[in-house]
Structures are given as C-alpha cells and as structure tokens.
Structure 1
C-alpha cells in the first residue's frame, strides 16, 4: 500500500486523467459515482489510503462478492465497479493510470520453487525484445509445464528429467503437429536458458524431440476479387470509424502489410514527398519500403483530415474510443473485418481462415495473376526467404494448370 497518496487525492487524479483523455461524459459519471460510494465506505471505516484489499473488501460488502483479485467474468454492473477499483489500485500502487481491460483469468502466479528462474526467463525475453505475440506463444506452454511440475511434486528445476518432459508432452498427443512443435520449441528455449544460466547442471533441451513441419503442406486462404470489392464497398466512409477501417483494409489489400505492422504504423513512417511508406516490420525486424499508391494515399489523407480523433499519439490508426491511442497488441482487427463481411453478405466458410492475413494472400495471388516475378512478390510482402513466398504459388491455379502434363503426350514419346 502506498501511504503517501490519500484516497481522496487518488480519486481526484484518476477523474482528472479521464477528462484529459477525453472519455465520454457517461463514462466519467460512472467512475465518479462509484468513487463517491467508495469514499463514503472508506470514511465510515476510517480508511485513509487505498489498497487492492480495500477494493476487494468494498466489493464484498457492496455485492456480497468474495474474490481474490480484479479479474474474472461478472455481471455488467459489477464489472464496471471492479474496473474503477482496478484503475485506482494501479495508480496508488504503481504511480501510473492505465485504463486497461480486466483479464478474465487470474494473473499467473509461479510456484515459489520455480519463481527465480521463471522471472529471470521473463527478463531475458524482454531484453531480447521479442514481439508480444511471440512471447505469449512461448510463455504459455512453459507456464503449463511449471504447473505440471508443481502437480508432480517436483521441488526444484534441477529435478526435471526427460521422463517428466515426456509425460508432460503426452498431454498434447491429440493436438495438431504444428501446435506440438510450438510447445516443444518453447520448452527447448526454456530448458536451454536454465542450463545456460546454471539453474540446472544438464542441458535437457538436447533430449527433446525434433518435430518436422513441412512449410508447403497447406494452401493459403485467399479471397475472390468480387468479394474484396464487396467488402470495401460495404464500409460507410461517411463516418470517422468507416474512414479508418477503409484505409486499413485498403492498405492490407493493396500493400499486403501484416496486421502487426498496421497496428504499429506511425505518422513518421509516411513520407509524402517521396510517396512511400518505410517501416521496421514487427515480425522480422527488417526494413520494408513500399510506395503509397494513389488510392491508398487518398484514403489515408481522408482519414487524417476528416476521421482521426485529436490525440498526441504518433500511431497512424488509433482507437476511436477513449483513450485515443494505439490498438492493443492482441487486437487482430478480426471483429471489424467480420462485421463488414456480414454487412457485405460475404459467406464466411468454416473450414478456411478469413482474417486480414488472407487479404495479404489475396494480394500475392493477384500479383501472380499479373505474372509478377516471385522475388518482387517476396520483397513486397517482406519475406526474408523466397521459399516462404513460394507457398503462394499454390493459389495460382491458372499458372498450375499450365504445368499439367498431358498423358497422351507422355505415352506418345514413350512409343
């Protein structure tokens, strides 16, 4: 508990920050009402400073709700109150105000016997500047593995054996090969770290199996040209959100940017004099330079002049609800895409991906249809290896038909 900031001062600071970030009057009123009742509660109890436990005790008395933290799924009214309590807790404990979404799950708590190495591994990932998505892909199976060790009464990382790892991996027997490969890769990473930093004396990572993933074993999803047109035409470009969404989708359709790069695209990445976009790709950390095509440029200009809310953020595409800042790194913008697909009457197949990445694949197919050389397609899509780009050859059906062997011709030569 921070006993330098009294609860009245903390409440005033949070409300002032809501106004500064231009939250709606309705939202600010909701926070103020919740805090007024909280202040009355703390005054009756003789409480001068706020803490997480104070907030939890308040929720218990107000709603009869016994919980261990500000997470979980609850009715709308309770969730709103919990969000107010969490924001106040963030400020009093950490000295900063973050209006973040509450988690549905309890934050991960590492068992004490593995906490030192787990925290060191997290720090190691931060120092290596892994992308958030990459970090989550690695850390989730490691957390499950640590919980498995706890359940198996293992008291130290030094007691991890190959048989324990085999038993843990057997839980994934029914999963797809690609996912199993991700789990094993995460474990290898973790076990190698433990060995390199002397938490264990044997390098168990070398005992983990190798899972061979054939990169060309699937056909990328792509859209029909008429459906892409229907999608873009379904967007109401008369309102600010429509202007933003149209610019985003057109940028993906015409330039093939990944969703991670769309989210992180900054105003400074746009060079209007040279008419190009230059950025460091989130996935590969390589530089990518693309032309600002005329239709893409005018869509972005329309958004900047007539749709983008006032904000101090340098991010190009921002949220249109307070706080007016970047999208979350977990937001794949799928919800908006799905909404426009429904509006356009586009059938959403169950057996095929229809996310923004499939629009990227559609651009690759269009370039193949125009006989664009593979190296150029690879450069546009920001691939480090042309072998990755060659996957898209599978969706060039017309090109493949030209490669079909005529059996009659084969037998004629054999004679």
Structure 2
C-alpha cells in the first residue's frame, strides 16, 4: 500500500472503531487525532505501512518527544499507534505487528538527562571531520549546546536569522513567537567552518537560505538530527540516553549552575510559563546533592570508615 493510500487506511480504521469496536464519536476522534501524528510521520519519511519496523516506531516516539508533547500525551499517542497496528494485523494488511515491543514513556515527573561540557567536547571530538557532513554535525552540536535551541528551531534556522556582529540569533519558536538568543564565538566559528563545505554543494531551489543542509542540498529534518546525535554520543562512549533535547537541557542546566537568573533562562529557552523552566532547579539540586555526598568532609570520613569496617 502506497503512502497516497494512508488516508484510505485512516477511513477504514475509523469504520472499524465505529462498527466493530462500538466506540463513541468522541473516542473515535481522540484515536484518529493521535493516529494522524503517525500518518504524517510516515508521509514525511516516505514509509509504507508494510515496511514499518520497530526502529521506525522508536524514531517516531523520539520525534513526538522532541516536539515537546507531555509524557501523558506521548503515552496516549503510542497506545493509539499500537491499536492501529493491531487493526492492520486483524484486517490482514500486515502479517506481523511492529508495535508489539514499543514502550511508552514513563508518566510523571521526569528529570531529563544532561551532559557535562566535557561530554559535549567528547561528542565533538568523536566526529570524523574528513567526511563531508563532519563539520556540519560539529556545528549543529555546538549550536544546540551553546544556544539551547529546540531541534525544530535549528532545522529552520536561516542566514538572515544570524546576526554575526551582534552575536545573536533570531529564533521563531512555538506559537510563532520571536526571541533573540545570544550565540557564542565558538558556535559562530563552527558555522563558518561548515560554510566552506556548504558553498561547494549543489543546493536545491528554495533551500538556499537554510543554514544546515543534507547531502541532497535540502534542509534537514528532526529525525535526521536525532539519529546523528544518538550515533555521535555512542561513538563518544556516552552511555546516557542522548537526543537533541538533551543538549537543550544541558544548556539550561549549565546556565543555572553558572548563576543565571531563572527568568533569563526562561527567555533564552522561549518557555511561555516559568513552571516549565523550574524543572532545571530540580536538576541543579540533584547535582548539588551528588556533589555534597561525594565531596563534603563529613561524607568522605563516613565513607572511609565504612571501607575500614
């Protein structure tokens, strides 16, 4: 079945929910709303439903996470995805269910992973600069960590959004809200190095203004960057669960550790509500607790005494 027929599958699924499952209109609307996330992902990735594997669904789960959807909503969407694939198996469209082992996110307060500056340096050092995309990937990691951008903001970054002399980026965030984000000299330097390679590329019409491009001369997708970040972290020997959002969390955490005001961090991240930003105070307290337990003289003495027993 081709991607053009996904709308037909959707209609058949709605009919199944209504006639076979007997669901109410509100329930059907909720299920199909969640399935639309998946169908749009399949269209963007040019994937046929019969070719979908668990890896594709895990990437889809990562994409909706990167989009900033709440954990409870992610869990609901993935539940709908599993229901949809069960229908595909029952109806004979698929032989096997690729969503069978798809895990839902843990619902509740979640303190995201953060990377230290040393771990970011390790990731950048692990990049093979002899490859054409090497300098591009290095620049992407540096910009994400130095500016705390959402991955959607990075893929849409254009040259007229970079104010090199003033050292600011103009970012259009959620709800088309504009903000100015300072950019470091190191990030600007990595972008400049990438431009030497970029200028040698054949760029597709209409894509000339985008800063970061793929090898076909078109701007990148969220999924492309997610895969690159995960692969680079693995090559750097980092065992944490790392995504583009991890670099954004790390940016905010380093600012807080350095004494930045929470309101300033809120502005930098483009959070509409200060409560969203306050999660970084929990991260910092967690880090502080670890430091105290490791380095406070009372704890050092206690740990030494335990080793002697």
Q: Smaller-chain TM-score range? A: 0.5 to 0.7
Deviation at 1:342, TM superposition (A): 2.5
* Counterpart in the other structure of 2:83: none
* Counterpart in the other structure of 1:25: none
* Counterpart in the other structure of 2:213: 318
Q: State the structure with bigger RCO (CA 8 A, min sep 6), 1 or 2.
A: 2
Say whether the 8 Å CA contact 2:119–2:238 is kept in structure 1.
yes
Q: TM-score, normalised by structure 2?
A: 0.62
Please state if 1:366 is matched with 2:254.
yes
Aligned mates of 2:224, 2:269 — CA distance in 1: 18
Aligned mates of 2:229, 2:165 — CA distance in 1: 31
Please state if 1:345 is matched with 2:257.
no
Say whether the 8 Å CA contact 1:365–1:392 is kept in structure 2.
yes
Say whether the 8 Å CA contact 1:253–1:363 is kept in structure 2.
yes
Deviation at 1:319, TM superposition (A): 0.7
Please state if 1:255 is matched with 2:147.
yes
* Counterpart in the other structure of 1:222: 114
Aligned mates of 2:75, 2:232 — CA distance in 1: 34
Say whether the 8 Å CA contact 1:254–1:296 is kept in structure 2.
yes
* Counterpart in the other structure of 1:280: 172
Deviation at 1:227, TM superposition (A): 1.8
Aligned mates of 2:288, 2:278 — CA distance in 1: 13
Say whether the 8 Å CA contact 1:253–1:362 is kept in structure 2.
yes
Taking a change above 3 Å as real, the CA distance of residues 346 and 286 of structure 1, as seen in their structure-2 partners, is same
Largest Rg, 1 or 2: 1
SS at match of 2:179: strand
Deviation at 1:165, TM superposition (A): 6.2
SS at match of 1:379: helix
Aligned mates of 2:158, 2:122 — CA distance in 1: 28
Write the mapping of 1:188-267 to structure 2, written as runs, cut at 5 A: 217-267=109-159
User: For structure 1, which runs of at least 5 residues remain unmatched after alignment?
Assistant: 1-68, 72-102, 116-142, 155-159, 170-175, 185-214, 405-415
User: For structure 2, which runs of at least 5 residues remain unmatched after alignment?
Assistant: 33-70, 80-106, 294-309
Deviation at 1:276, TM superposition (A): 1.5
Aligned mates of 1:372, 1:266 — CA distance in 2: 28
Please state if 1:378 is matched with 2:292.
no
* Counterpart in the other structure of 1:334: 226
Write the mapping of 1:31-46 to structure 2, written as runs, cut at 5 A: none
Say whether the 8 Å CA contact 1:220–1:392 is kept in structure 2.
no
| Aligned residue pairs, count | 223
Aligned mates of 1:145, 1:391 — CA distance in 2: 39
Q: TM-score, normalised by structure 1?
A: 0.47
Deviation at 1:231, TM superposition (A): 0.5
Write the mapping of 1:10-409 to structure 2, written as runs, cut at 5 A: 69=1, 71=2, 103=3, 107-109=6-8, 147-152=16-21, 160=24, 177-179=72-74, 217-281=109-173, 283-308=174-199, 309-311=201-203, 312=205, 313=207, 314-320=209-215, 322=216, 324-328=217-221, 331=223, 333-347=225-239, 349=240, 353-396=241-284, 397-399=286-288
Aligned mates of 1:241, 1:292 — CA distance in 2: 22
Aligned mates of 2:159, 2:128 — CA distance in 1: 24
SS at match of 2:169: strand
Deviation at 1:305, TM superposition (A): 2.2
Report the aligned-residue RMSD. Answer: 3.5
